[in-house]
Amino acid sequence: LRFLYQRITNPLAHIPGPEISKWTDLVYKYYWFSGKIPYYVHSLHEKYGKDINITNKSEYSADVPQGPIVRTSTTQVDICDKEVAREIHKTNSRYMKSNFYNVLVAKNFQNLFSTTDPKFHFNRRRLLATPISDSSLSKHEPLISSRINLAIEKIAQEMDNRGVADVFKWWLFMATDVIGELTFGESFQMLESGEKNQYTKDLESLSSLQPIRTTFPNMVDLARRLPLPVFNRAGAVANRMSQYALQSLQRYTKHLENEPGTAKQTLFTKIFDEKNGLSLREILYEAQGYIVAGSDTTAVTLTYLVYSVCSDARVREELAAELASLPEPISDKDLRNLPYLNQVISETLRLYTAVPFGLPRSVPVGGVTLKGMYIAGETTVSTQSYSLHRDPGIFADPDKFYPERWEDPSRDMKDASIPFGGGSRICIGIHLARIELRLATALFFRRFPQAKVSSSEGMSSDDMVMKAFFLMAPQGHRCLVEA
Ligand code: HEM
């Protein structure tokens, strides 16, 4: 009866999509759990949308309106349209982050990333934005450069000893050490040890635990009291990470109080202040957000960049030639306007965006009409970059890694690109990420201009298939290259 009621009353029934999604969310959840949600949603656009490659038009009935909006589950639609994406992700947008974010991070845990409250977000962002702005980050460039140089040394050593190097591992260690030091004032020292510690193992498992958190939030709570193995694990990971972060921040504040002159400047140093800034607990929540949002994202992007460039000798040679002309030591100032380097980065962010998932937002109460289609209030709308970035009407031959397409990008290309989200919820770490991407790419290809993808140890393109929960990662969890 419940299914029948859901089907009859479904306010999204008029939107094109698979019949099953009028009845139940099970199919959607299956793909979410298996890390294939962007592929599934993209296949719905291919089947039901007119702006995306339509493979078999004869399947459609003439009375179903085709368009860029598809129903993905009983309560959700995805929209592959650059104008709608801009409207939803603009500054002062009426589309708030959906309830999904409350459970993605943790229940009753509000920070800049997870909050759905615009006032909270505005105040928090105002405090956090300056220390992580492009101009403020220049004082951290020596730290970022030294971590990247160490990663490259380790890659070279691994190539010597093992014959190949796993760039995914080293980029992950580098990005986690950088954001750890900028957040806690002390490094995780993963590059030095070459091994993951408990915190970073937990960090790694966080992504695959996201489907559990978002689908069964109450079970994770219940698991605090009952022995429910998988749910206990999700809770234990969150507790350990929180304890570690708290202890690091307590050490840092003690240092700051005792020896303010010698304490390293972090992204939070100036806002440790109960009255005008943030309390220790509030900083703890933000620090945890930075670590999660700022490690895998950068590492995955760099991994796919190296993989794509190393797979195409033409691109690699052009990039290496451009980098060969740079003076030593390489600084970020020299890289900001390098044409080909920046085209390679833009193309990686297009094809392998670390967040290919649809950034779910809630339709304002009263509903809206988008592209001629009425969408009821409180429906969850997403605009997944995986599809927007592959719109063949905007990006010719969309599956090809072709950096030159960014030589003189059209307005449409810029509008359809949202690797860092948009509007007031745009990634706060965008400048840090871009500095890391520029420096790491330049230093890597300066050192290894002949690098290519290895086929040793069974490495194949299967390892690089994207597995996506909220964040994406190569399913083999490795990327082996040789010089
Ligand atoms: C290539 C690297 C990165 C990519 C592709 C990326 C992508 C994104 C995207 C798409 C969003 C929007 C999420 C949404 O609307 O649901 C976002 C938000 C965010 N990112 Fe990043 N990110 C990257 C690096 C970083 C770094 C290094 C940090 C470190 C501070 C960071 C911290 C955050 C935070 C705190 C938010 C929430 C901002 C807000 O809601 O105001 N990200 N990121």
For ligand 1, atom 9, name the residue with the nearest CA: 420
Give pLDDT, residue 209.
Answer: 66
Residue 52 has pLDDT above 50, yes or no: no
**Is residue 302 in contact with ligand 1, taking CB distance under 6 Å?**
no
Reply yes or no: is the peptide bond before residue 229 cis, omega within 30 of 0: no
For ligand 1, atom 11, name the residue with the nearest CA: 427
Give pLDDT, residue 224.
Answer: 61
**Is residue 428 in contact with ligand 1, taking CB distance under 6 Å?**
yes
Residue 263 has pLDDT above 60, yes or no: yes
Domain containing 299 — which CATH number?
A: 1.10.630.10
Measured CA to CA, the distance from residue 249 to residue 239 in angstroms comes to 15
Extract the tokens encoding 286: 């933000």
Extract the tokens encoding 389: 């970035």
Q: What is the mean pLDDT of residues 60-81?
A: 79
CB 306 within 8 A of CB 318: no
* 380-382 and 361-362 strand pairing: antiparallel
Whether the complex's predicted ipTM surpasses the cut of 0.90 = yes
Q: Which of ligand 1's atoms lies nearest the C-alpha of 115?
A: 40
Extract the tokens encoding 67: 């368009």
Among 47-61, 197-211, 314-328, 409-423, the least confident range: 47-61
Range of the domain at 347: 2-482
Please provide the average confidence, as pLDDT, over all residues in the chain.
90
**Is residue 203 in contact with ligand 1, taking CB distance under 6 Å?**
no
- Amino acid identity, residue 426? I
Give pLDDT, residue 364.
Answer: 97
How far does residue 426's CA lie from ligand 1's centre (Å)? 7
- Residues 40-76: b if buried by 16+ CB within 10 A, e if exposed: bbbbbbbbbbebbeeeeeeeeeeeeebbbbbbbbbbb
Model confidence at 267, pLDDT cuts 50, 70, 90, reads very high
Render pLDDT for 93-143 as a digit per residue (tens, 0 to 9): 999 999 888 877 766 678 999 999 999 999 999 999 999 999 999 999 999
Residue 357 has pLDDT above 70, yes or no: yes
- Residues 348-387: b if buried by 16+ CB within 10 A, e if exposed: bbbbbbbbbbbbbbbbeeeebebeebebeeebbbbbbbbb
Model confidence at 63, pLDDT cuts 50, 70, 90, reads very low
CB 415 within 8 A of CB 442: no
Distances (CA, A) of 158 to 73, 105, 164, 302, 408: 46, 35, 6, 18, 39
- Residue 337's contacts (CB-CB under 8 Å, 6 or more residues apart) are none
Element (H, E) at 446: helix 430-447
Give pLDDT, residue 106.
Answer: 65
Model confidence at 225, pLDDT cuts 50, 70, 90, reads low
Check whether 427 is labelled as a binding-site residue: yes
Among 87-91, 122-126, 137-141, 239-243, the least confident range: 239-243
**Is residue 427 in contact with ligand 1, taking CB distance under 6 Å?**
yes
Looking at the structure of the chain, the number of domains it has is: 1
Give pLDDT, residue 276.
Answer: 75
Model confidence at 211, pLDDT cuts 50, 70, 90, reads low
> Could you tell me the pTM of the whole model?
0.92
Q: What is the mean pLDDT of residues 63-67?
A: 55
**Is residue 433 in contact with ligand 1, taking CB distance under 6 Å?**
yes
Count Cβ atoms below 10 Å from residue 226 Cβ, excluding itself. Answer: 9
Q: Which of ligand 1's atoms lies nearest the C-alpha of 436?
A: 27
**Is residue 298 in contact with ligand 1, taking CB distance under 6 Å?**
yes
- With the most atoms of ligand 1 within 8 angstroms of its CB, the residue from 113, 306, 427 to mutate is 427
Give pLDDT, residue 243.
Answer: 86
Measured CA to CA, the distance from residue 277 to residue 321 in angstroms comes to 47
Tell me the HSE value of 352 on the side-chain side, using a 13 A CA sphere. 28
For ligand 1, atom 41, name the residue with the nearest CA: 425
**Is residue 37 in contact with ligand 1, taking CB distance under 6 Å?**
no
**Is residue 111 in contact with ligand 1, taking CB distance under 6 Å?**
no
Residues 62, 65, 67, 69: what is their CA dihedral angle, to the nearest 10 degrees? -130
